[in-house]
Structure 1
Amino acid sequence: MRLHRNLVFAVIDALNLIFNEKEYADKVIEKVLRYDKRWGARDRGFIAETTYDIVRWKRLYSEIAEVREPYSRPNLFRLFTVWCVLKGISIPDWKQLETTPERRIKGRFDELSKIRKFRESIPDWLDELGEKSLGNDLWTKEIAALNKQAEVILRTNTLKIQKAQLQELLADSEIETIPIEGYPDALKLKERKNVFTTEAFKNGFFEVQDASSQLVAPFLEVKPGQRVVDACAGAGGKTLHLASQMQNKGQLIALDIYESKLKKLKIRTRRNGVHNVETRAIDSTKVIKKLHGSADRVLLDAPCSGLGVIRRNPDSKWKLEPEFMERIMGVQQDILQNYSKMVKKGGQMVYATCSVLPQENTNQVKAFLDSENGLEFKLIKEQNIYSSESGYDGFYMALIKKI
């Protein structure tokens, strides 16, 4: 691979914004890719994938390069040279990349790779928490799997098209996909491509959604004609899946505390041909109270650590803090206690997170069921989805029925 100065400098700019300015990686990549309209798909791919790679291995590379935050520009170039050496990429004769000790870099890598917190490039506290929560063997396998680059998975919008038809349509656009066994609506891209520019996407024939995430809506067992509440809808990936499962029939109420996210959902519903969704911002407790005892199904896709999705959000490893973990577990229990009141007798709810930690998952469900509000409910089934077993994101789901 021959390195181009303008592309490498774009990567350095991106790393500065992510590491020093604490901006979100996905937003930074969007910003940096607008630098030069002449960049083609390969150029953009290099910038995005190289940036994400260095973000993913920040701690390991920093230890090897012997640099610390806040990173000066020369230090960011040192991280980049470590990436080059470990990828086997020839380093050009630029003044920013002078005197690269390749043998020492490889030696340090071999040495540090024997220690999990360096090998998997995670903070000490997170490594300790993972081992304590999952045990040494499972945590070792899980964090290794969570550090692999996420594949691009599509969910067929069955309101508009069937999976086989979508596969053919994408093939006509030179996007090769393969079905995934056990995931009825999923197609996996054989190689990474920008699917958002395709006519198929513009026509609402698919959404990008990880395979594990695609298991949540079916877990709720919705039926056409029901009243269903997606209580933490966000921008609505699972709302749209629920709508297709309901065949656009019945009432689907999407709630969220952020009006801005619900506005994005409205745009997505139009593209997807979904017309049974009503959005409501949770701007007071009245919004929930009005729905007490009225829902056949409730989805609680609760806010969480996001530990199960760090494959696609590697910068979240550096944004997570122990204090946040304590706070978010309080939020999760509040959601279970208060939002469960929307379920009517005989109705069902699913509590789900994109975390692999039991304290955010099965422990929260047990605490709810043992509480006064939980006495009317019983656990039907639960499922832990580990990235090390499935190859996709880490998730948890519990189906709970009001008796």
Structure 2
Amino acid sequence: MVTARELACTVLVQVMDEGAMSHIALREALDQATETFGMEGRDRRFATALVQGTLERLLLLDAKINGLSKTPVKKMKPWIRELLRMSTYQLLFLPEIPASAVCNEAVKLAQKRKFHGLKGFVNGILRNISRDPSLPDVDDSARYSQQEWLVHRWEESFGREQTEIMMQAFFERRPLAVRRNTSIVNADTLYASWERDGLTAEPVPYVPDAWYLKGFESIDRTEAFRKGWIQVQDVSSMLAAVVAAPEKGVSILDLCAAPGGKSMHLADLTGSGGSVLARDLTENKTRMIRENRERAGFTWMKVEEADARVLDEDLIDCMDVVMADLPCSGLGTMGHKPEIRYRITPEAIRELAALQREILAQAWRYVKPGGVLVYSTCTITPEENQENFYWIAENTPLIPESLDAFLPEALHSETTAKGYLQLLPGIHKGCDGFFISRFRKMER
């Protein structure tokens, strides 16, 4: 039998010491525990909260532990390190859990994992924290668990106040956002389905036919999901397709499409009279896209493996709309994938910006004269966003277009009039950090 705490600690070791992605490692561990041991929903939710919360607050937790331990956190054995982090998170941020239970369960786990000689160490550290569960006096980097160089960058770009709002927003929990596939289900049928499943829905900001859902244990067990009536998709991602604004019956290419949310949105907007070609680099990624397509029955959507860096001469000047939502540092998604903040480096950002330009150098060629290219990322760095926006304008025959005709007035700004939108968590309600820009190819 595996407990929620043991499962969470195992996932934390996989993420912080073995390089796993938290959302994937956690999902696989929960599925296995449910199948093998019948783990209940309450324990699944507790394990999820422990993984997410510990990763989000890691640097602050380390500061608290290091203030009491002669052995620095970084030099501890991986299992003990993650056990202390996870337990410290409970003591500092989950006051509804008795401190005695946190300490006792941690000692039991240390024993179960054969760390008999360290159970006293674990108990001593946690008992001391339980007697003084105040937060340590630290700088913004540790307080918000962000690398110091990244905090400074954001402050230079957005100012201190907006940066603090954004970093705080990464801690906030948002309900699951879904979008109605308007081409296959009407709103009344969808509402009736949600009522039968006991779900509650609240409209999301900025996007029509989209809601936050609550009241489900697993979204894939709901009628609306199984029948392909809804698509799980972040609001920011929805806005990229809204900005693309494909007309009915047009041809669309989505270059780096996995997991497929934007491809599905574009296919829904253009309808069965159009065509969508969704591509990505690996079989694993294209499988995710196919699963979404088959669930909704979008037969006008084709899925292929392809390397977006390599020019496909058969597609030159063929597409009405090209969606280039390209590989990026993903800093805007920290609310879902908190470990990203500890892995990114300035060098990686430069390398990703260069990769994006390598793909963009091919992407614009697929756009028909008079057609549209949308360049987007899920990050918050000028190298990957604004600098690439100007690179496209200066190095291709594409002209930036104002986004204001496609966006609600609440999102209009000086930059949207120029052709791009930088979404920031906390500043733009319900959104990840996301960049969206739109270009039109000159007619010959």
> Shared fold by TM > 0.5?
yes
Deviations 1:134-162 (A, max 9, x none): 33222222122123234311111212213
Cα offset, 1:71, TM superposition? 4.4
Aligned residue for 1:111?
137
- 2:231 matches 1:231: no
Question: Is 1:393 matched with 2:393?
Answer: no
Query: What is the aligned partner in structure 2 of residue 69 from structure 1?
Result: 74
1:277-312 deviation digits (Å, cap 9, x = unpaired): 122322587652211111111111111111111101
Paired residues of 2:185 and 2:229 also in contact (CA < 8 A): yes
After superposing the two structures, state which structure 1 stretch, 165-174 or 266-275, moved more.
165-174
TM-score by length of 1: 0.91
Q: Taking structure 1 as reference, are residues 284 and 217 closer, same or farther at Cα in structure 2, changes over 3 Å only? A: closer
* 1:90 equivalent in alignment to 2:98: yes
Q: Cα RMSD (Å) of the superposition? A: 2.2
Q: State the Cα deviation string for residues 105-154 of structure 1 (Å, max 9, x = none).
A: 534x1512xx2111110122222222233332222221221232343111
Instruction: Trace 1:4-403 onto structure 2 (pairs within 5 A).
Output: 6-33=3-30, 34-35=32-33, 36-66=36-66, 67-69=72-74, 71-72=76-77, 73-86=79-92, 87-88=94-95, 89-91=97-99, 92=101, 94=104, 95=107, 96=119, 98-99=123-124, 100-102=127-129, 105-107=132-134, 109-112=135-138, 115-190=139-214, 193-283=217-307, 288-371=312-395, 374-380=396-402, 381-389=419-427, 390-403=429-442
- After the TM superposition, which of the residue ranges 155-164 and 240-249 deviates more from structure 2? 155-164
Report SS of the residue matched to 1:303: coil
Shift of 1:175: 1.9
Aligned-partner residue type, residue 89 of structure 2:
W
Distance 1:344 1:126 in 2: 39
Greater shift after overlay, 304-313 or 59-68? 59-68
TM-score, scaled relative to structure 2: 0.83
Q: Secondary structure at the match of 1:359?
A: coil
Distance in 2, matches of 1:257 and 1:289, equals 18
Q: Deviations over 1:306-343 (max 9, x none)?
A: 11111011111122222211100001122222210111
Q: Deviations over 1:35-78 (max 9, x none)?
A: 34321111111111211110111111111111423642333232
Alpha-carbon distance between aligned partners in 1 of 2:222 and 2:144, rounded to the nearest angstrom: 36
Checking the alignment, whether the CA contact within 8 Å between 1:377 and 1:400 is kept in structure 2 is: yes
Q: For the Cα contact (< 8 Å) 2:326–2:377, is it kept in 1?
A: yes
2:76 and 2:195 mapped to 1: Cα distance? Answer: 44
Q: 1:22 to 1:129 in 2, by over 3 A?
A: same
Cα distance in 2, alignment partners of residues 391 and 234 from structure 1: 22
Q: Could you tell me whether the CA contact under 8 Å between 2:61 and 2:88 is conserved in 1? A: yes
Separation of aligned partners in 2, 1:284 and 1:207:
25
Q: Tell me the residue number matched to 2:115.
A: none
Return the alpha-carbon distance in structure 1 between the equivalents of residues 275 and 290 of structure 2.
15
Q: Distance in 2 between matches of 1:318 and 1:150?
A: 22
Secondary structure at the residue paired with 2:387?
helix
Classify the secondary structure of the residue corresponding to 1:101: helix
Kindly indicate whether the alpha-carbon contact (under 8 Å) linking 2:330 and 2:378 is maintained by their aligned counterparts in 1: yes
1:192 to partner: Cα distance: 6.4
Distance 1:101 1:192 in 2: 39
| Structure 1: distance between partners of 2:173 and 2:309 | 40
User: What is the letter of the counterpart of residue 78 of structure 1?
Assistant: L
Q: Which amino acid aligns with 2:154?
A: G
Q: Give the Cα–Cα distance (whole angstroms) in 1 for the partners of residues 8 and 317 of structure 2.
A: 52
Between 1:313-322 and 1:5-14, the stretch displaced more is 5-14
Distance 2:307 2:242 in 1: 29
Contact 1:20 1:69 in 2 (8 A): no
Are the aligned partners of 1:384 and 1:395 in contact in 2 as well (CA < 8 Å)?
Answer: yes
- The 3-state SS of whatever aligns with 1:388 is coil
CA separation of 1:122/1:220 partners in 2, compared to 1, >3 Å: closer, same or farther? same
Corresponding residue of 2:405: none
Equivalent residues, number:
395
- Where structure 1 has 5 or more consecutive residues not aligned to the other structure, the ranges are none
* C-alpha contact (below 8 Å) 1:59/1:121 kept by paired residues: yes
| CA–CA separation in structure 1 for the residues paired with 2:5 and 2:400 | 55
Aligned in 2, Cα 1:294/1:126: closer, same or farther, shift over 3 Å? Answer: same
Q: Unpaired runs of 5+ in structure 2?
A: 67-71, 108-118, 403-418
Worse-matched range after superposition: 47-56 or 175-184: 175-184
Is the 1:20–1:71 Cα contact (8 Å) retained in structure 2? Answer: no
- In 2: Cα distance, 1:101 partner to 1:247 partner: 62
